[in-house]
Amino acid sequence: MQTVVSGIRPTGNLHLGNYFGAIRNFVRMQESNHCYFFIADYHSLTTHPTPADLHGNIRMVLSEFLASGLDPEKATLYVQSDLPEVAELYLLLNMNAYLGELMRCTSFKEKARTQPENVNAGLLTYPSLMAADIIIHKAHFVPVGKDQEQHLEMTRTFAKRFNRMYGVEYFPEPQAYNFGDALVKIPGLDGTGKMGKSEGEGNAIFLADPPEVIRKKVMRAVTDAGPQAGQEKSQAVENLFTLLKVMSKQETVDFFEDQYLKGSIRYGDLKKQLAEDIIAYTAPIREKILAIAGDDAYLASVTRLGADRARESASRTIREVREIIGFKAF
Ligand code: TYM
């Protein structure tokens, strides 16, 4: 059986990018693997949430995990900060993580550019914390979206470096994974890049959005002036088609592709259909989120069970790593 690990930062509600890049894979993989899925709350501290926001966000993401079909009996579901072993492995990995490679990381450069007032050490060492999350359970596969590819490459670098340094074959080299397919990037509605929480109001559709909000956001999505003979689709329209491919039936996609080719497409019709298909998909999940988020007793039992199981695996790794490094009892 393969070991699978992945996490999501609690920075607000989960959107369709998180769902199709990560969660849907979690749900599929839990059936036949050893799975550890966690809420990356240590990671979220890089942006300095208030204590109330932090707790509320963790509750939300946990409820969204469960509402999406993650089963705490099949997969180990836990909160990252319930595992102090992760912080220890992070410290140990940082001793062999070099400033140059950390500074070259795309996500660090991006953050340093967009938030120059808060370029903290946690941001710089984000990849070593992420590597600690993954290799603490000696993972083989990490279901993530395309944006995490470089972080996975760094995880492999740190794992290999540890093995080489101590002459052991201890950590496997984990691979980024998308169920039977290439890693995905779900686009947002603003006509530019990926769907993301920080990409501006209206760009992301959240699993917990009510139908009227979904309709409003989709109807406002950026398009263009219409098909131009002999020209490729604009980025904005390409994005809408990508969403349609993910959310709608093949015949719906074929219908609008055909209309586009003929030059008779009405973007308003495409958007209406897309909005209804998104609503059909998310409405049952949303209902469950609302029911679960208020159930403190259930959430407490899930996190307790998850922490116990995850710590069993993590403490074994830490014990062995300490031994390999040379921390030995007298
Ligand atoms: P985060 O919290 O930004 O995103 C969680 C997951 O959602 C995926 N994702 C997307 N996939 C496709 N299209 C999109 N538009 C899109 N937006 C987000 C991300 O690829 C990710 O899989 N560093 C991680 C969290 C993390 C982690 C880990 C992941 C911490 N430790 C260990 C895996 C293993 C992050 O910030 O993801």
How many domains is the chain built from?
2
What is residue 54's predicted lDDT score, i.e. its pLDDT? 98
What is the average pLDDT across 303-311?
Answer: 98
**266 Cα–ligand 1 center, Å:** 34
**21 Cα–ligand 1 center, Å:** 8
Catalytically active residues are 111, 194, 197
Q: From the CB of 134, is ligand 1 less than 6 Å away?
A: yes
Dump pLDDT digits (tens) for 251-284: 999 999 999 999 999 999 999 999 999 999 999 9
Same domain membership, residue 221 and residue 76: no
Same domain membership, residue 162 and residue 62: yes
Q: In ligand 1, which atom is closest to the CA atom of 5?
A: 34
**Atom 34 (ligand 1): residue with closest C-alpha?**
6
Question: Domain for residue 330, yes or no?
Answer: no
Q: From the CB of 195, is ligand 1 less than 6 Å away?
A: yes
Dump pLDDT digits (tens) for 222-231: 999 999 888 8
What is the average pLDDT across 292-312?
Answer: 98
Q: In ligand 1, which atom is closest to the CA atom of 184?
A: 12
Q: From the CB of 43, is ligand 1 less than 6 Å away?
A: yes
How many C-beta neighbours within 10 Å does residue 191 have? 18
What is residue 134's predicted lDDT score, i.e. its pLDDT? 99
Same domain membership, residue 160 and residue 13: yes
Residue 50, pLDDT > 90, answer yes
DSSP secondary structure of 229-291: TT-PPPHHHHHHHHHHHHHS-HHHHHHHHHHHHHT---HHHHHHHHHHHHHHHHHHHHHHHHH
Q: Which two tokens stand for residue 23?
A: 């969660």
Dump pLDDT digits (tens) for 162-206: 999 999 999 999 999 998 789 999 999 999 889 998 777 789 999
Q: From the CB of 142, is ligand 1 less than 6 Å away?
A: yes
Q: How far is CA 190 from the centre of its chain?
A: 20
Whichever domain contains 17, its CATH number is 3.40.50.620
Q: From the CB of 190, is ligand 1 less than 6 Å away?
A: no
What is residue 242's predicted lDDT score, i.e. its pLDDT? 97
Q: In ligand 1, which atom is closest to the CA atom of 18?
A: 7
What is residue 201's predicted lDDT score, i.e. its pLDDT? 78
**Residue 15 belongs to domain spanning:** 3-184+296-325
Question: Domain for residue 308, yes or no?
Answer: yes
Q: For strand 3-8 and strand 76-79, is the pairing parallel, antiparallel, or unpaired?
A: unpaired
Q: From the CB of 40, is ligand 1 less than 6 Å away?
A: yes
Same domain membership, residue 169 and residue 148: yes
Confidence of residue 303 (pLDDT cuts 50, 70, 90): very high
Pocket perturbation via mutation, ligand 1, pick of 147, 150, 177, 185 by most ligand atoms within 8 A of CB: 147
What is residue 197's predicted lDDT score, i.e. its pLDDT? 84
What is residue 225's predicted lDDT score, i.e. its pLDDT? 93
Same domain membership, residue 233 and residue 123: no
Q: From the CB of 186, is ligand 1 less than 6 Å away?
A: yes
What is residue 179's predicted lDDT score, i.e. its pLDDT? 84
Same domain membership, residue 243 and residue 161: no
Q: In ligand 1, which atom is closest to the CA atom of 146?
A: 20
**64 Cα–ligand 1 center, Å:** 15
Same domain membership, residue 21 and residue 161: yes
Confidence of residue 14 (pLDDT cuts 50, 70, 90): very high
Pair 189, 220: CB distance under 8 Å: yes
Q: From the CB of 17, is ligand 1 less than 6 Å away?
A: yes
Same domain membership, residue 99 and residue 25: yes
For residue 288, CA distances in Å to 70, 126, 155, 283, 285 come to 12, 32, 35, 9, 5
Dump pLDDT digits (tens) for 52-62: 999 999 999 99
Same domain membership, residue 162 and residue 243: no
Dump pLDDT digits (tens) for 67-115: 999 999 999 999 999 999 999 999 999 999 999 999 999 999 999 999 9
Dump pLDDT digits (tens) for 112-158: 999 999 999 999 999 999 999 999 999 999 999 999 999 999 999 99
Is residue 95 classed as helix, strand or coil in its secondary structure? coil
Type of residue numbered 12: G
Question: Domain for residue 87, yes or no?
Answer: yes
Same domain membership, residue 310 and residue 281: no
User: How many residues does this entry show for the chain?
Assistant: 330
Question: Domain for residue 113, yes or no?
Answer: yes
**Atom 16 (ligand 1): residue with closest C-alpha?**
17
Q: In ligand 1, which atom is closest to the CA atom of 11?
A: 2
What is residue 8's predicted lDDT score, i.e. its pLDDT? 98
Q: From the CB of 145, is ligand 1 less than 6 Å away?
A: yes
Same domain membership, residue 172 and residue 81: yes
Confidence of residue 302 (pLDDT cuts 50, 70, 90): very high
Whichever domain contains 249, its CATH number is 1.10.240.10
